[in-house]
Amino acid sequence: MSAIAAISTPNAPGGIAVIRISGDTAFEVADAVFRSVNGKKACEMSGYTCAYGFAYDGDERIDDCILTVFRAPNSYTGENVAEISCHGGLYVTKRILRTVLENGAETASAGEFTKRAFINGKIDLTQAEAVMDIISAKGEKELKMAEILREGAAFKKSQSTKEKLIKVLGDLAAWADYPEDDIPEVEPEALKNSLYEIRSELAELIKGYDYGRILRDGIDTVIIGRPNVGKSTLFNCLSGCERSIVTDIAGTTRDVIEESVKIGDLMLRLSDTAGIRETDDIIEGIGVDIAYKRLDEAELIIAVFDGSCPLEKDDLALLERLSGKRAIVVINKSDVSRKIDFDRINELNIQPVYISAKENSGIDEIHTAIENLFEASEINFESPLAANERQKRCIDLSLQNIDEAISAIDSGIMLDAVTVLLDEAVQYILELTGEKATEAVVDEVFSRFCVGK
């Protein structure tokens, strides 16, 4: 393939920057720009070796650099790759890239290096997707999940499932084609058992998917409660800054304020809302409607109550709305004498957390309560998990076809129909790994990438 080039390091000043060139003519392009002090050309260098020298634009020296050579197929893309490491200034880096482009390389589009690795069979689609997940990982577990996929664990697992399905299909075909020959009849029970086994292997890949998604995307969290219970003060305690307006005038937080907050491995996408109460004020009323809407949509509700006074009608209305939701009940103002009615609180199946937002006490208990709510002890981060909606959809559809095949066997439907369903299940595994994905699917995957990767 023709040579492509891009800056692979961030578009910001730094210690060093890397210009990556990949393709059949990568070394010729590098030789037109880089001159090593030992006189050796990239074309003559072995793979995985470096040379010190200078980048030139014609006869004009631009910068001193290191050239690293990777020879096909032992490179990221599977092609010849030359990487020029220069000083990490924005101008110098762009100047060297421009010279590289003037000497025969084309500009690499977003994700094009990884796309080439995929096209050249170095990686499958799940591994390609994991590359971006590694780059965007914000915590330990997220990184671990991405690393496992990057190493090809999901690919290997889906390959073994696919092979088992193909074996079943082969048995069915042999029996359907030559029923009168010596080929043993396909026993429905044995067939079903094989399919149950295959099914559970595949289902492992989407177990814990939601937890993985939460680790990646954060938890959509809303802080809700009547005016003046201390929502904004708590929001500021959790986010560690004075973003919400804290006043003792009821109804001062009128729209939704958002902030990302890290709690252990979890990230909360936290929003403070207008206080909920019955009101005739039109503007405040809109805020209250938004707050209730957010309560219905959110993945986690932090419901705040004022411990220094008895529960009011609006508090009770909120408590009712919490049933069946993932919620934490926070009783605030523990620094002043407690007047909240215990009986009503004890009726809740949720253990309340007592805090004083003003004195910043009890916040660790909120952290613990959140971590317990999203406890993922059953998830094994050492085994591969579907990393995104695309992967989950492929696995779901494959499973759906296997389930339909099992039902078809149960209802004594012709084996032909079972074959069609299992064939479809295989197709979705091929789409998962990209062995048989449409151009649109592949383009969609790489559209998420950054330039230079």
In whole angstroms, how close is the CB of 357 to ligand GDP at the nearest point?
4
> Which residue of 99, 279, 332, 391 would you call a contact of ligand GDP, by CB under 6 A?
332
Tell me whether residue 227 or residue 452 sits nearer to ligand GDP (CB atom).
227
Q: Map the footprint of ligand GDP across residues 342-361, applying CB under 6 A.
A: 356-358
Position of minimal CB gap to ligand GDP: 230
- In the shown chain, the binding pattern of residues 165 to 204 toward ligand GDP, with x for contact by CB under 6 A and - for none, equals ----------------------------------------
Closer CB to ligand GDP, 123 or 222, in the complex:
222
Q: Based on CB atoms, which residue is closest to ligand GDP, 9 or 356? A: 356
Using CB atoms within 10 A of its CB, is residue 354 exposed (0-12), middle (13-18) or buried (19+)? middle
Minimum CB distance to ligand GDP, residue 277 (Å)? 10
Radius of gyration of the chain (CA): 30
* Identity of the residue, 93 or 279, whose beta carbon is nearer to ligand GDP in the bound complex: 279
What residue type is assigned to position 391 of the chain? Q
Does residue 335 belong to the site contacting ligand GDP (CB under 6 A)?
Answer: yes
Candidates 253, 271, 388, 398; binder of ligand GDP (CB under 6 A) is: 253
Q: Which is nearer to ligand GDP, 158 or 228 (CB)?
A: 228
Q: Which phi and psi (to 5°) does residue 375 adopt? A: -50, 130
Check if the beta carbon of residue 64 is closer than 8 Å to that of residue 119.
no
Site for ligand GDP in 264-283 (CB under 6 A): 275
- Name every residue whose Cβ is closer than 8 Å to that of residue 295 and which is 6 or more positions away in sequence: 222, 224, 301, 321, 325
Write down the least CB distance from residue 429 to ligand GDP, Å.
51
Residue placing its CB nearer to ligand GDP in the complex, 263 or 303: 303
| Interface residue with ligand GDP, options 213, 333, 390, 392 (CB under 6 A) | 333
Rounded CA separation 427/394 (Å)? 9
Check if the beta carbon of residue 101 is closer than 8 Å to that of residue 107.
Answer: yes
C-beta pairs of 203-206 under 8 Å, 24+ apart in sequence: 203/395, 203/399, 204/157, 204/383, 205/154, 205/157, 205/158, 205/384, 205/385, 205/386, 205/391, 205/395, 206/385, 206/386, 206/392, 206/395, 206/396, 206/399
**Bridge partners, 81 (sequence order):** 22, 70
Indicate whether 115 belongs to the interface with ligand GDP (CB under 6 A).
no
Q: What 3-state DSSP class applies to 115?
A: helix
Question: Could you say which residues in the range 223-252 bind ligand GDP, by CB under 6 A?
Answer: 225, 227-233, 246-248
- Is residue 161 part of the contact set for ligand GDP (CB under 6 A)? no
- Amino acid identity at 366: I
**Cβ-based burial of 170 (10 A; exposed 0-12, middle 13-18, buried ≥19):** exposed
Stretch that binds ligand GDP, among 222-230, 284-292, 403-411, 413-421 (CB under 6 A): 222-230
Residues in the chain: 453
Which one, 335 or 396, has the nearer CB to ligand GDP? 335
Q: Cβ of residue 281: shortest distance to ligand GDP, in angstroms?
A: 14
Instruction: Identify whether 73 is preceded by a cis peptide bond (ω within 30 of 0).
Output: yes
Query: Based on CB atoms, which residue is closest to ligand GDP, 56 or 292?
Result: 292
Site residue total, ligand GDP (CB under 6 A): 20
Using CA of residue 117, residue 120, residue 122, residue 128, what is the dihedral sign? positive
Closest to ligand GDP by CB, 273 or 391: 273
14 vs 146: CA distance, rounded Å = 26
Q: Which residues bind ligand GDP (CB under 6 A)?
A: 225, 227-233, 246-248, 253, 275, 332-333, 335-336, 356-358
